[in-house]
Amino acid sequence: MKYFFSLIILLVVVFRAHAQIEQFPKIQPDDIEQHIFTIDSSATAVVLMEKGETFIESSDADRAYMVFHNYKIRIKILKQEGYDEANFTIPLYKFGNTFEYVRNIKGSSANLKNGKLIHTALQQKNVFYENNSEYLKLVKFTLPDIVEGSIIDVEYTVVSPDIFNFRTWNFQSNLPKLSSEYNVRIPAVYNYNVVLKGALKLNDTKSYLDKQCLFIHNTRVDCSNITYSMNNIPAFKEEAFMLAPKNYLSAVYFELIEAYGAQGNKQSFTKKWTDVDRELLSEKSFGGQLKRGNLIKEIIDPAIFAITDKHERADKIYHWIQQNIKWNNYYGKYSQNGVDVALRNKNGNIADINLALIAVLNAADIEAYPILVSSRENGLPHDLHPVISDFNYVIAGVKIDGELIQLDASDKLLAFGQLPIRAINGQGRIIYSKKSSEWIPLENKIVSSTSFIFNGKLGEDGKIRGKLNIAQNGLDAYHKRKEILNFNSIEEYEEALDSRLTNMSLESLEISGLEESNNILLVDMDVVIETGQHLSSSSFVLNPIFIERTVKNPFNLDTRFYPVDLGARKHESYEINIEVPEGMTLISGPSNNNLTLPNNSARYLYRSDFKNNTLSVIQRLSLAKPYYSEDEYFGLKELYSRMIQQQKIDFNFKK
């Protein structure tokens, strides 16, 4: 935020008053009755029109120059599933010591009742303000009287101190839009880098010079008045294994490059990484915390520092930090209250935890550095030049025997060398102490794996009794541990699992490695599978993939404009052996299958055999990369489709 305040010192300006966005056309009865739009016949709601305008103006209430953002939208509700589109949440962020705020909230819904057009206005008493966190407030409201066919209008103004980023405008959203228009008025004293991201193109851009729009020390300065327009915008379809949608939405972004003072002097806001490195390492809440290692070392068991193997020593320190500082659910690249306070209170934000980890590792003669990260929901960071505000997270990079190990000690269920999904987002910037920082890929080197092994016997009553062993590692184990520990006891989890399983009941359950994050999680069960058949009949149908079968393809888009990001390489395997009674003959079953994508990037294997009255099935799915490009998407889609079809085919036996 120091950029903003230095900018205020440079500029003493007075803006002309700006009018609100022009009124939308009056709603007509025919508008209410229209229920089908060619842009998307399956849509539950559609944006009929959307307009925004952003400008900088002197605010008497704030005694500062603020960014004013007027927003107006009209939405048509088409189906009951679209009722949620009448719920609005306006996020207000904190910049330095100043929060954004909203004013002039207006809303109404229009419906046709007995042939008459009825407008119902939003009451201000139904606008609610919520303190979400220290850095975020939410304004929430719901439009009244919503039914199929309703048309809702909403408008408001957000006032923000964030001159640096001006205001991003998302042309694309979860709803299709007939039109979206954005007007900006940028004073000539500001130079912004304007970038249009996403797969869609603008329909029109209009610009002109708004002469003498403001004064700077009695000198009139011009403004660039630009209007961006886009029509017939398809809805953005979210799908599994993707980064934050904001990375791929068609949108226009603004980033302040430089500003000019009254005497023509220029202040640059685009820095070099060497400047950012120096500032971070001299910042008390960042680099200053890295010097606290010896103080923390004094309260740790000295036996840990006596361990000769560096990998084991680092692992012990990592788990000690995990156990002694609980994450308070706040992100941050800067320490919130200081690592010593976090240790004393036994809680802190992400930076408190991971900067403490780095400090102690260095004090233990283990080379460790901070890595700046932008969390998944925060979007991908710029990689052309430093934008420190892009980063909201920090992890540790540890170098042992020439290998860089990435660590995040914010969750005690994370294994040494494992990152949570929230922290895997493109690249991170590792900040060295004696040389310039550099970009590194954020990755989980631990494979996310699940293995199912079942050995059972088919009885004359048509039930299959046997032992099911499930072994998990990596992210699969992490998510399963969180699921199990969310219950008050193993018995409670067992009861919930038993009720959830279809056509299968538990007779016993044993779990090992539940809170030992570095170890494989093992779940052993005695189960009874109900086939719904009886061996008294002459034929019997069996499908051995009876647990966690893939029934829905996670990749369904006709066109995907963004990559597939799994967060880690993935491996899944089934080994199933079922003994059947004497006299049963296999008549038909699925053929063996072996599918491989180019460069062995993914593979699906299915093998079956029937001999000595035992049906044996092996199925393996291997995704050898954590990241697949848009060009590889259709290969993955086809691979999953073929696997699903394979799993649908039953084995048919005759007695």
Q: Please, what is the average pLDDT of the chain?
A: 91
Q: Which of 396, 423, 441 is the last residue of a domain?
A: 441
Q: Do 389 and 504 fall within a single domain?
A: no
pLDDT of residue 61: 85
Judge if 280 and 259 occupy the same domain: no
Min mean pLDDT across 340-344, 385-389, 581-585 is at: 385-389
Distance CA 196, CA 401 (A): 43
In 3D space, the residue among 534, 573, 351 whose CA is nearest the CA of residue 449 turns out to be 573
- Do 133 and 247 reside in the same domain of the chain? yes
Identify whether residues 388 and 302 lie together within a single domain: yes
Same domain, yes or no: 31 and 78: yes
pLDDT, residue 383, reads: 80
Q: Is 592 helix (H, G, I), strand (E, B) or coil?
A: coil
State whether 281 and 415 are in the same domain: yes
- Identify whether residues 286 and 258 lie together within a single domain: no
Domain check: are 553 and 496 in the same one? Answer: yes
Q: Please compute the mean of the pLDDT values over residues 404-423 and round it to a whole number.
A: 96
Q: Residue 568 and residue 566: Cα distance in Å, rounded?
A: 5
> Structure tokens of 364?
């233990």
Please tell me the distance from the alpha carbon of residue 72 to that of residue 180, in angstroms, as a whole number.
Answer: 10
* Cα dist from 602 to 232, 382, 573, 596, 626, whole Å: 37, 30, 14, 6, 10
Once rounded to an integer, what is the mean pLDDT over residues 121-147?
93
* Sheet hosting strand 151-160, strand order edge to edge: 13-15, 204-216, 219-233, 177-187, 45-59, 64-77, 151-160, 101-113, 116-121
Confidence of residue 367 (pLDDT cuts 50, 70, 90): very high
Q: How confident is the model at residue 215 (pLDDT cuts 50, 70, 90)?
A: low
Shared-domain flag, residues 64 and 176: yes
Residue 593 belongs to domain spanning: 448-654
The CATH number of residue 403's host domain is 3.10.620
Which of these, 500, 457, 517, lies nearest to 509 by C-alpha position?
500
The string of pLDDT tens digits covering residues 173-207 is 999 999 999 999 998 888 888 889 888 999 999 99
The C-alpha R_g of the chain, in whole angstroms, comes to 30
pLDDT at res. 501: 85
Angstrom distances, CA of residue 610 to CA of 28, 463, 588: 70, 19, 11
Per-residue pLDDT of 508-565, as tens digits, reads: 999 999 999 999 999 999 999 998 888 877 889 999 998 889 999 999 998 888 999 9
CA proximity to 454, closest of 366, 546, 374, 341: 546
Residue type, 424: I
Domain of 622: which CATH number?
Answer: 2.60.120.1130
Spatial separation of the C-alpha atoms in residues 564 and 436, rounded to whole Å: 31
pLDDT at 537: 79
pTM of the model: 0.83
Q: CA-based angle 342:3:426, to the nearest 5? A: 65
What local confidence, expressed as pLDDT, does residue 8 receive?
A: 36
- Which amino acid makes up residue 350? I
Based on the domain organization, do 324 and 458 belong to the same domain?
Answer: no
What torsion do the CA atoms of 145, 146, 147, 152 make, to the nearest 10 degrees?
A: 120
pLDDT of residue 613: 93
Residue-level pLDDT at 262: 64
| The predicted structure's pLDDT at residue 3 | 33
Residue 246 confidence class, pLDDT cut points 50, 70, 90:
confident
Helices (H) and strands (E) in the chain, counts: 11, 37
Whether the predicted pLDDT of 16 surpasses 50: no
For residue 481, the one-letter residue type is: R
Task: Find where tokens 């193109």 sit.
Answer: 201
Cα–Cα distance measured from residue 340 to residue 289, given in angstroms and rounded to the nearest whole number:
9
| Rounded distance between C-alpha atoms, residue 116 and residue 99, angstroms | 43
Distance of alpha carbon 90 from alpha carbon 142, whole angstroms:
12
Q: Quote the crossing angle between the two packed helices 310-324 and 350-363, to the nearest 10°.
A: 150
Output the six-digit token pair for 286.
Answer: 């960042």
Q: What are the two backbone dihedrals, phi and then psi, of residue 645, each rounded to the nearest 5 degrees? A: -65, -40
pLDDT band for position 255 (50/70/90)? confident
Side chain identity at residue 209, one-letter code: L
Same domain, 259 and 287: no
Which of the four pLDDT bands, split at 50, 70 and 90, describes residue 2? very low
Q: What percentage of the chain's residues is helix, strand, coil (to nearest 5)?
A: 20, 40, 40
Q: How many of the other CB atoms lie within 10 Å of CB of 568? A: 25
* The pLDDT of residue 616 is above 50: yes
Q: Where is average pLDDT lowest: 191-205, 265-279, 456-470?
A: 265-279
Tell me, what's the pLDDT at 20?
62
CA 587, distance to chain mean position in Å, is: 48
**Rounded average pLDDT over 360-368:** 95
277 and 264, same structural domain?
no
> Is 59's pLDDT higher than 90?
no
Q: Is 354 in contact with 318 (CB distance < 8 Å)? A: no
> How much is the pLDDT for 217?
54
Rounded distance, CA 461 to CA 155, Å? 67
Residue 165 clears pLDDT 90, i.e. is over it: no
**Pair 293, 363: CB distance under 8 Å:** yes
Of 268, 296, 320, the one marking the end of a domain is 268
- Give the chain's domain count: 3
Greater model confidence, 433 or 47: 47
Q: Which residues pair with 340 in a beta bridge?
A: none
Closest CA to 602 of 653, 553, 638: 638
End position of a domain, from candidates 387, 422, 441:
441
> What percent of the chain stands above pLDDT 90?
72
CATH number at residue 210: 2.60.40.3140
What is the spatial distance between Cα 586 and Cα 604, in angstroms, rounded to a whole number? 24
Residue 543's nearest CA partner among 483, 464, 480 is 464
